[in-house]
Structure 1
Amino acid sequence: MDNDIGVNVRGSAYGKDYYDPPPAPFIDVEELSKWSLYRAVIAEFIATLLFLYIGVLTIIGYKSQTDTKANGDVCGGVGLLGIAWAFGGMIFVLVYCTAGISGFFLKLSLPSF
């Protein structure tokens, strides 16, 4: 990799036009005493439970509606596309609702200064 200082057209040196912050530690002990960490863990846990609850209920409902032995219809239920929409919709709703609380996606994409 080249040096941090380059030479422009006229021959004068220039430096970086941005600042690299020092690397953050992977585990910060100070964060364990903050309420925001526990609030994020609770939000992610509830979001995961809701995701699994809605997904499993959709699959069970589809199975019971299409069971011909239990007076079901072969063409009844939401179908495989409906199951896919249920899972995809739940992912969208849960990310939309918990991104502001947990901030997990914000920590991955935004640099901290």
Structure 2
Amino acid sequence: MNETEPLDHSVCKATVRPIRDALDVLNGKWKLPIIVALTFGEKRFGEIAKEIDGITDRMLSKELQDLVANGLVRRTVEDTFPIRVTYALTPHSQSLNEVIESLRKWGILHRAYLVNEEK
């Protein structure tokens, strides 16, 4: 953006709207860690809970329901005894790979920045 050009509020709104849409789907501190855990393969509820430190079963259940509703996670119920429920990423969730990798890299950079700031 050139600083000499007048501000175009329609461009700003067109930029903010899709970012808000994405944040509405991925809001909170648990959805992305759940997605990352599932990138390593299909898992049962208890397996996901063990991989994500600090998440309660209630919160994991709520977040999985949201991710299923938004088409990012597939919930499969197998008609066995006992019933087996598994969770896996959908093909649509693959569209987040670049975002997750960028966030991972930025997180490493930011942690290093904070450590250097403390000195």
TM-score by length of 1: 0.25
**Relative CO higher for 1 or 2, CA cutoff 8 Å, sep ≥ 6?**
1
Larger Rg: 1
- Give the structure with the larger strand fraction: 2
